[in-house]
Structure 1
């Protein structure tokens, strides 16, 4: 398939995905523990609803929908970058321990650092970023070989090992914490969408507004990094510098998402794979598709999960894992 036909196909797929996101968002607005009639959605959106309708839509449903959508996009972006940089189709921030590093940092900060409620919303993504960055740095050091460079298989194995170790550290931290604070961390671990208010949107949105355009700007470099190290060096690419910058970008995207949604895995694994199957391996083509797919996957999982069991539902992280777990096993067997 020629490049022009791939571009036309990508644009069509983006339109379809956008339409599916709108349909899922509308369904999510209408269904839930507090019912909101679908024929009342447009009047309520334009300010003609009752106090109860306004509260349900603007204070509960709409912020959660936007947060879930943005977080899914960020996780898909992180997964896309990691898979290209490491040349490993199994790379995902949730699987290789980066999300766990963010979780441990959030747990320590939440339990032991006194902070005003108003500042917490905006500081927590930075805390998650620091924890995830330290974890990613350690994983990179242990997976790197002077003779072979960054070993893709070793990266996943080291990452899984770090994820297990950090899970053990989290248990130790929780065992000495207050009951009320333990409940919050437990929900975070399960991938429960907890940041469901407008300030969390304003805390997350700037990260995506910077990271998505920056990644697309670096798409050509990502294409080169997807090749062998020898090929990348032969065309003059400063390999280690570009790899480091893009890994930091992936860590920032992942940390910003999990800081408000909890420990959610597999979105960053599945979305890039599906996108590549649809439009091919070029990063400038599949990353926009993967970003919308990630938002759609997490939004769909959260919409289904929160309506399965009243009143709290099933955490989105568990719903995604029910789909992503078998998919991960399939990839392991295939590769």
Structure 2
């Protein structure tokens, strides 16, 4: 298939993804513990709603929809970059321990640092980024060999080891904490969408708005990195610098997402794979598709999960894992 036909196919798929997002968002607005009938949905959207209807839509449903959408996009972006940089189709920020590193940093910050309400929301993505970055650097160091470069298989194994170790550290940290704070950390671990309020959207939005265009700007370099180290060096690419910059981009994207949604894995694994199957492995083509698919997958998982059990529902992280674990096992056996 020629590049022009792939571009046309990509645009069509992007339109389909946008349509799926809109339909799922409409369903999510109307469904829930406090019902909002679909025939009242558009009148409320256009300012003709009661106080109760406005509260349900604008204070409860809409922020949650936007948070899950933005977080799913950020996680898919992170997984897309990691898979290209490491040349490993199993790379995902949740699987290789980056999300766990962000979680430990958030737990320490939440439990042991004085928190001001006004700055707490905006500090969380930064704290998560620091924890995730330290974890990613350690994983990179243990996976890198001077003679063979970055070993993709070793990266996943080291990452899984770090993820398990950090989960143990998390248990130690919360074992002596206050009950109320432990409840928060437990919700975070389960992937419960806890930051469902407008300030969390304003805290997450700049990260997503900056990192997605930056990744697309670097898409040609990602294409080269996904081939081999010899090819990258042969075309004059500054390998280590580009790799570190792109890994930091992936880490920042994942950390910003999990700081408000909790420990959600597999979105960054599934969305890039589906996108590559649809439009091929060129990063400039599959990354936009993966980003929209990631947003839709997490929005769909949260919409289904919170309507399966009243009143709190099933965490989105659990719903995604129900799909992601078999998919991960399938990829593991296939590769």
Same fold (TM over 0.5): yes
Deviations 1:46-75 (A, max 9, x none): 111000000000000000000000000000
Give the length in aligned residue pairs.
335
Residues in 2 aligned to 1:181 and 1:205: alpha-carbon distance in whole angstroms: 26
Q: For the residues of structure 2 that align with 1:331 and 1:17, how far apart are their CA atoms?
A: 23
Q: Any stretches of 5+ residues in structure 2 without a counterpart?
A: none
CA drift of 1:117 comes to: 1.0
**In structure 1, what is the equivalent of residue 284 of structure 2?**
284
Corresponding residue number in structure 2 for 1:132 = 132
**Shift of residue 116, structure 1, vs aligned partner:** 1.0
* 1:232 matched to 2:232: yes
Q: 1:309-324 alignment to 2 at 5 Å?
A: 309-324=309-324
Residue 293 of structure 2 corresponds to 293
Q: Distance in 2 between matches of 1:107 and 1:77?
A: 24
Over residues 142-167 of structure 1, what are the superposed CA-to-partner deviations in whole Å (9 max), with x where a residue is unaligned? 00000000000000000000000000
For 1:256, the equivalent position in structure 2 comes to 256
Q: Which runs of 5+ in 1 are unaligned?
A: none
> Following TM superposition, by how much is the alpha carbon of 1:105 offset from its aligned partner in structure 2, in angstroms?
0.1
The Cα shift of 1:118 comes to 1.5
User: What are the Cα deviations for residues 108-150 of structure 1, in whole angstroms up to 9, with x where unaligned?
Assistant: 0000001111210000000000000000000000000000000
Q: What is the CA–CA distance in structure 2 between the aligned matches of 1:213 and 1:307, rounded to whole Å?
A: 34
Once the two structures are superposed, residues 254-274 of structure 1 have per-residue CA deviations (whole angstroms, 9 ceiling, x without a partner) of 000000000000000000000
- Equivalent residues in 2 for 1:95-134, closer than 5 Å: 95-134=95-134
Q: What's the counterpart of residue 275 of structure 1?
A: 275
Q: Is 2:173 aligned against 1:151?
A: no
Q: Which residue of 2 aligns with 1:244?
A: 244
What is the aligned-residue RMSD (CA, Å)?
0.3
State the Cα deviation string for residues 23-61 of structure 1 (Å, max 9, x = none): 000000000000001011111111110000000000000
TM-score for the superposition, normalised by structure 1: 1.00
Q: How does 1:86-235 map to 2 (within 5 A)?
A: 86-235=86-235
